[in-house]
Amino acid sequence: MLVKWIFIGVVMVLGLQACSTKTETTPFTNPVMWADVPDMSITRNGSDFFLISTTMHLMPGAPVMKSRDLVHWEIASYVFDSLTDHSGYDLIDRTVYGRGQWASSIRYHNEKYYVLFSPNDQPFSSYIYQCNDPSMGNWQLLTRTQHFHDASLFFDDDGRVYVFYGTGQLRELKSDLSDVKPDGVDMKIFERDADETGLLEGSQMIKHNNKYYLLMISWPRNKPRRQLCYRADNITGPYEKKVILEDDFAGFPYCGQGSIIDDKNGNWYGLIFQDRNGVGRVPLLMPVRWEDGWPMLGDENGKVPLHWQTPLKSYDTGKRIVESDDFASEKLKINWQWNHNPVNSAWSLTERAGYLRLKTSRVVDNLFLAPNTITQRMEGPNCSGVVAIDVSNMLDGDVAGFSAFNGDAGLLSISISDSKKYLSMAKNSVHLDNRTKAVTGVDVDVVERVEIENDMVYLRIDADFNLNKDLATFYYSFDNENWTAIGSEYKMIFDYRRLFMGSKFAVFNYATEQIGGYIDVDFFEYNRTIH
């Protein structure tokens, strides 16, 4: 009997030990974020992962997202509130559509975080910021230095600092990052192959087992984009090359550009974006398989998994990259970004408690020049946004409303003419000067227009980003319960020649005749359908 109880006790102890050492996982379905999060760069400090992405002309800019399981992401901070290099950032005389902050690099080094990016409209300069904790924000501008296209900041083990950029360019910085090092490394470490067209973009450098690994994308002639890796024993080369991912995951084209990262347990992961048309460029999360010293991306067949699980304990704070807002706080939710620099004197959360007040501050003739248009991302596969707007203080010539905003945009607009209110659904397509991005014209197609009398108007946009869809539909209501469809379905597109972003929900108010009017936005209600 004693032996029996000893045996049972041993089994129980072993069972408890097995339970205590069982790895907790976080399951997910790709894309891990079905939203526009392009040009990803990632770094880690302990269990905390920080990811930075491109938002170009949107302010505040350079969003830094945080996760502990690589599945649940929240916006931790923005690197800057505004950029002021020229008047285009204020929508005056020109614009920075598709330009501005571009392909940033984030790194954790010696208990500080660093971000490097080069504005795509400033061919001779870049920014380097630093902070102690991205969760707290307070990023400080460290320096301005030369322009680096699609750069990767890299701190080597010997204390030297480098930037990989362009198509195989390498430049050494001073150790304090104040500028380039005049007598430092400045060279091209490889040439592209004969069948590769254009730039090899999206540089991301890591060091693993004393080898240097540079991830880039390639566009072979008449072939889809693919993810490459260049590997060398020395930072200056020679480098050898291997294709580490080529996949048209889920029927959408072109997986390529992103980063790889390890966790504190030594597991490796890839975050690579995929072009998904109207919604933008979405992150795909996948395992990294080290084979013969190469970081091969995807499952055992080299494909992006639809379903997978990270070997990390789930950590979900409940915060999301897109969220509803009742404007009850005296501070905007971190999810909002303005289209270009806002006119801060022309918006308020305190003049009418519980409402976002948007005032007209400049006479313009279209949405693409309207200051203080405020945006959030759209998400797939399906999402819906509702805004409640008090329009009682609009003036003749004012135009306010809700948009599926992009270079080609679908608009729900309330306009005032001869003291009468009209609600319309229209399609707008902007034309931009290739050099300055100045707005040279807007094609307007008003699909449907109705006169309304109510001062409180509810506007709704439903979006479908499933394969071959990219459709927005538009509705209005006067009680937030009974909805009337207006206009027609709108085909959302992604156009890299103009705004170069996924479609956004946008709330706007602008004056075409006189300033002084305003709207009060009661709430933005957001819902996403996952399945």
For residues 352-357, give the mean pLDDT: 98
Distance (Å, whole) CA 281 – CA 214: 21
Which helix (H) or strand (E) segment holds residue 449: the answer is strand 439-452
pLDDT greater than 70 at residue 52: yes
Give the pLDDT band (50/70/90) at residue 87.
very high
Into which CATH architecture does domain 25-310 fall? Answer: 5 Propeller (2.115)
The answer on pLDDT for 374 being more than 70 is: yes
Phi-psi region of 321 (alpha: psi -120 to 50; beta: other; left: phi over 0): alpha
11 phi, psi to nearest 5 deg: -60, -40
Whether 211 shows a pLDDT value over 90: the answer reads yes
> Are residues 371 and 340 in contact, defined by beta-carbon separation less than 8 angstroms?
yes
The CATH T-level fold of domain 337-529 is: Jelly Rolls (2.60.120)
- What average pLDDT is seen over the chain? 94
Q: What is the pTM of this model?
A: 0.94
Q: State the span(s) of the chain assigned CATH 2.115.10.20.
A: 25-310
Query: Alpha-carbon distance 81 to 98, whole Å?
Result: 18
Question: Identity (one letter) of the amino acid at 71?
Answer: V
High-pLDDT (> 90) share of the chain, %: 91
Is the model's pLDDT at 384 over the cut of 80? yes
Residue 124 pLDDT level (bands cut at 50, 70, 90): confident
Report pLDDT for 23.
63
The mean pLDDT value for 331-338 works out to 98
Q: What is the Cα 414 distance to its own chain's centre?
A: 29
Task: For residues 228 and 230, give the distance between their C-alpha atoms in angstroms, rounded to a whole number.
Answer: 7
Q: With residue 126 as reference, give the H or E element that holds it.
A: strand 126-131
**Of 196, 237, 192, nearest in space to 213 by CA:** 237
Average pLDDT over residues 381-398: 98
Report, as an integer, the average pLDDT of 341-357.
98
Query: Which range (14-23, 83-92, 311-320, 512-521) has the least confidence?
Result: 14-23
Nearest-10 Cα torsion for 324, 327, 332, 335: 0
Q: What residue ranges of the chain are covered by domains with CATH 2.60.120.200?
A: 337-529
Which residue type does 284 have? L
What mean pLDDT do residues 301-307 have? 97
Residues with Cβ < 8 Å from 115, sequence gap 6 or more? 52, 62, 64, 79, 104, 105, 106, 107, 127, 128, 129, 130, 139
Closest CA to 235 of 179, 185, 303, 201: 185
Is residue 2 predicted with pLDDT exceeding 80? Answer: no
Q: Which two tokens stand for residue 202?
A: 């999206």
Confidence of residue 22 (pLDDT cuts 50, 70, 90): low
Per the structure block, which two tokens stand in for 412?
């729900």
